[in-house]
């Protein structure tokens, strides 16, 4: 299945200003993607949402404000001219039983962009303010409806490109990760309470009890840290750069992996001159394959070729995995070895011996240590094994083990800091150092873990995080 990139109305130049969010404004946004569609939705949240609806909606039979949570047919009418803009369905949902815990209105229009923009304009004129990216979700977080990990899951669910990514985001939205983090934080808080009690009553600490709690918390933190690689890869996918000497079959391999003649293939070395990339869903992982111009033939000084090679090296630097393509029908040469050396700088590397249809597979040797696969991009032989190898290398055997993994670098960084602080506290207590220092370490560990779920976050972090959301989310 081919994954198609999703676009969303993200605006980086217009980051969210927290004071505005906290001001109690009523916000409005187009919640459906740009372009023509069957229906489009304008969404409002805030204390004036019902009032705004009353200003511009003329109901047919039922008044949505009198019939909360029911879709009501009617027209959006421009109050200035009395002209109808569209026939719509509107729903009014009083707070706090809504996503944002505020009064929420949704107006289902016909899907055209023009109609949606006009309805939004009328909402703004009636007193609403244009929502910032992620502002509906931010309100849900600030009003205690969801925690921060769940808020991130909303974003991840919207942008998920594979079923593994969406399943993981849904579990996170339902609180699987949050529960796990809170349990661990609970053990740390219990240990802290033990230490603080000893400080308050000027007693010696019950070291065994505290150490047991901390050992448990550290085990769980280590498991969380370990889960991050799979969680992040399931969510973000991987970039896999295909490199090799000219003519070894890189573009043929790309086409075979994509099941689509995406790249030009000829028997002329140097056919591919620019990098070319395309994403696919490989067993639930979003993999972006990058085909590159042939490397290891640095003699040519054709400027286009030189630029192409520069791009190949750059693509390698940005790769999560390098597929090093080698021609199995001829001996390895210095050029192959030079490319292999470069490819080894990628975090993961897989050697692909191509063209096995031309003769018996060559003995591996010079590249021992790197996993290898033998294929023919021409006949398709070995391609399934290649796909399986890419997936298992990407997940490095962690596949499916973790139902509630950490899913971002932000989580990973927080969990690492929590682990470090918890270990420092336990070792400090064992070495008999001052209790107040151990207590400070434990508070640091709790704070770090609280960043994942949002118990301890600052406005800066929220601003940065929610800037990655779509408008209308
Ligand atoms: N017999 C055989 N020929 C192959 C195989 N894979 C590719 N070829 C042929 O090798 C030639 C080069 O293939 P490309 O896919 O263009 O190779 P490339 O590595 O992208 O080449 P450049 O873009 O020039 O660096 C073409 O004639 C392909 O048909 C294979 O598995 N077996
Ligand atoms: Mg090529």
Q: Ligand 1 pocket check: which of 250, 252, 360, 374 to mutate, most ligand atoms within 8 Å of Cβ?
A: 252
In order, the DSSP letters of 334-346 are HHHHHHHHHHTTS
Q: Ligand 1 pocket check: which of 242, 249, 293, 358 to mutate, most ligand atoms within 8 Å of Cβ?
A: 249
Q: Whose CA is nearest to atom 23 of ligand 1?
A: 272
Residue 40: C-alpha distances to residues 56, 107, 117 (Å)? 17, 8, 10
Establish whether residue 359 lines the binding site of ligand 1, counting it when its CB lies within 6 angstroms of any ligand atom: no
pLDDT value for 7: 32
pLDDT value for 399: 54
Query: Burial, 19: exposed, middle or buried (Cβ in 10 Å; 0-12, 13-18, 19+)?
Result: exposed
Q: Is the pLDDT of residue 396 over 80?
A: no
- Band (pLDDT 50/70/90 cuts) for residue 1 is very low
3-state secondary structure at position 316: helix
Q: Whose CA is nearest to atom 12 of ligand 1?
A: 247
| % pLDDT > 90, the chain | 67
Residues 139 and 269: their CA atoms lie apart, in Å, by 57
Q: Whose CA is nearest to atom 10 of ligand 1?
A: 249
From 210, 229, 228, 224, select the one nearest 430 (Cα to Cα).
Answer: 210
Buried b (16+ CB within 10 A) or exposed e, 145-162: bbbbbbbbbbbbbbbbbb
- The Å distance, Cα 222 to ligand 1 centre, comes to 45
User: How open is the CA angle 231-9-30, to the nearest 5 degrees?
Assistant: 115
Q: Which atom of ligand 1 is nearest to the CA of 376?
A: 31
Establish whether residue 295 lines the binding site of ligand 1, counting it when its CB lies within 6 angstroms of any ligand atom: no
Dihedral sign for Cα 201, 206, 211, 217, please.
Answer: negative
Residues 365 and 354: their CA atoms lie apart, in Å, by 16
From 96, 98, 77, select the one nearest 88 (Cα to Cα).
Answer: 77
Establish whether residue 269 lines the binding site of ligand 1, counting it when its CB lies within 6 angstroms of any ligand atom: yes
- The Å distance, Cα 295 to ligand 2 centre, comes to 11
Q: Whose CA is nearest to atom 32 of ligand 1?
A: 355
Residues 211 and 426: their CA atoms lie apart, in Å, by 6
3-state secondary structure at position 84: strand
Establish whether residue 329 lines the binding site of ligand 1, counting it when its CB lies within 6 angstroms of any ligand atom: no
Stronger pLDDT, 333 or 177, i.e. the higher one: 177
Q: Which atom of ligand 1 is nearest to the CA of 354?
A: 31
Strands (E) across 97-175 are located at 104-110, 129-130
From 130, 97, 105, select the one nearest 54 (Cα to Cα).
Answer: 105
Residues 31 and 177: their CA atoms lie apart, in Å, by 27
- The Å distance, Cα 270 to ligand 1 centre, comes to 11
**Cα within 13 Å of Cα(264), Cβ side:** 11
Establish whether residue 386 lines the binding site of ligand 1, counting it when its CB lies within 6 angstroms of any ligand atom: no
pLDDT digits (tens, 9 = 90+) for 52-90: 999 999 999 899 999 999 999 999 999 999 999 999 999
Dihedral sign for Cα 309, 310, 311, 317, please.
Answer: positive
| Tokens linked to 318 | 């940005």
Establish whether residue 408 lines the binding site of ligand 1, counting it when its CB lies within 6 angstroms of any ligand atom: no
Establish whether residue 297 lines the binding site of ligand 1, counting it when its CB lies within 6 angstroms of any ligand atom: no
Count the helix, strand and coil residues of the chain and give each as a percent rounded to the nearest 5: 45, 15, 40
Bridge partners (DSSP) of residue 324 are 243, 351
**Cα within 13 Å of Cα(287), Cβ side:** 28
- The Å distance, Cα 14 to ligand 2 centre, comes to 40
Domains within the chain, CATH numbers bracketed: 18-147 (3.30.1360.120), 161-454 (3.40.50.300)
pLDDT digits (tens, 9 = 90+) for 178-205: 999 999 999 999 999 999 998 888 788 8
Is the Cβ–Cβ distance between 324 and 244 less than 8 Å? yes
pLDDT value for 309: 87
pLDDT digits (tens, 9 = 90+) for 258-281: 999 999 999 988 889 899 999 999
Q: Whose CA is nearest to atom 1 of ligand 1?
A: 355
Helices 163-173 and 148-159 sit at what angle, rounded to 10 degrees? 160
Task: Mention every residue, 6+ apart, whose C-beta is less than 8 A from residue 19.
Answer: none
Establish whether residue 265 lines the binding site of ligand 1, counting it when its CB lies within 6 angstroms of any ligand atom: yes
């Amino acid at each position: 299945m081919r994954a198609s990139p999703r676009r969303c109305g993200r605006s980086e130049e217009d980051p969210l200003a927290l004071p505005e969010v906290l001001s109690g404004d009523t916000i409005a946004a187009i919640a459906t993607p740009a372009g023509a569609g069957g229906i489009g939705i304008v969404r409002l949240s805030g204390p004036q949402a019902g009032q705004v609806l009353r200003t511009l909606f003329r109901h047919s039979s039922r008044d949505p404000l009198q019939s909360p949570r029911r879709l009501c047919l009617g027209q959006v009418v421009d109050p200035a001219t009395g002209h109808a803009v569209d026939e719509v369905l509107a729903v009014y949902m009083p707070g706090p039983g809504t996503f944002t815990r505020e009064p929420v209105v949704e107006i289902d229009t016909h899907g055209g962009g023009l109609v949606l923009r006009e309805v939004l304009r009328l909402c703004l004129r009636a007193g609403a303010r244009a929502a910032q990216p992620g502002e509906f979700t931010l309100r849900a977080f600030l009003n205690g409806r969801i925690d921060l990990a769940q808020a991130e899951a909303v974003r991840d669910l919207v942008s998920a490109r594979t079923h593994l990514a969406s399943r993981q985001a849904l579990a996170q939205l339902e609180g699987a990760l949050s529960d796990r983090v809170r349990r661990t934080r609970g053990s740390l808080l219990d240990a802290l309470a033990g230490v603080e009690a000893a400080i308050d009553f000027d007693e010696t600490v019950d070291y065994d009890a505290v150490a047991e709690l901390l050992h448990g918390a550290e085990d769980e933190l280590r498991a969380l840290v370990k889960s991050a690689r799979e969680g992040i890869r399931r969510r973000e996918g991987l970039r896999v750069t295909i490199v090799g000497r000219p003519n070894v079959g890189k573009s043929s391999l790309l086409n075979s992996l994509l099941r689509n003649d995406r790249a030009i293939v000829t028997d002329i070395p140097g056919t591919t001159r620019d990098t070319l990339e395309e994403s696919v869903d490989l067993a639930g992982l979003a993999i972006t394959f990058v085909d590159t111009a042939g490397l290891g033939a640095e003699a040519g000084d054709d400027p286009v070729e030189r630029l192409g090679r520069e791009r190949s090296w750059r693509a390698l630097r940005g790769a999560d995995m390098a597929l090093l393509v080698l021609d199995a029908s001829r001996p390895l040469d210095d050029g192959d070895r030079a490319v292999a050396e470069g490819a080894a700088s990628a975090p993961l590397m897989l050697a692909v011996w191509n063209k096995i249809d031309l003769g018996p597979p060559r003995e591996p040797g010079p590249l021992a240590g790197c996993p290898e696969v033998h294929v023919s991009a021409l006949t398709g032989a070995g391609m399934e094994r290649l796909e399986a190898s890419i997936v298992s290398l990407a997940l490095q055997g962690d596949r499916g083990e973790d139902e509630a993994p950490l899913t971002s670098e932000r989580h990973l960084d927080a969990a690492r800091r929590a682990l470090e602080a918890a270990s420092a506290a336990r070792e400090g207590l064992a070495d008999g150092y001052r209790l107040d220092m151990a207590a400070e370490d434990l508070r640091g560990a709790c704070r770090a873990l609280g960043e994942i779920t949002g118990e301890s976050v600052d406005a800066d972090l929220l601003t940065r995080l929610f800037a990655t959301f779509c408008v209308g989310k």
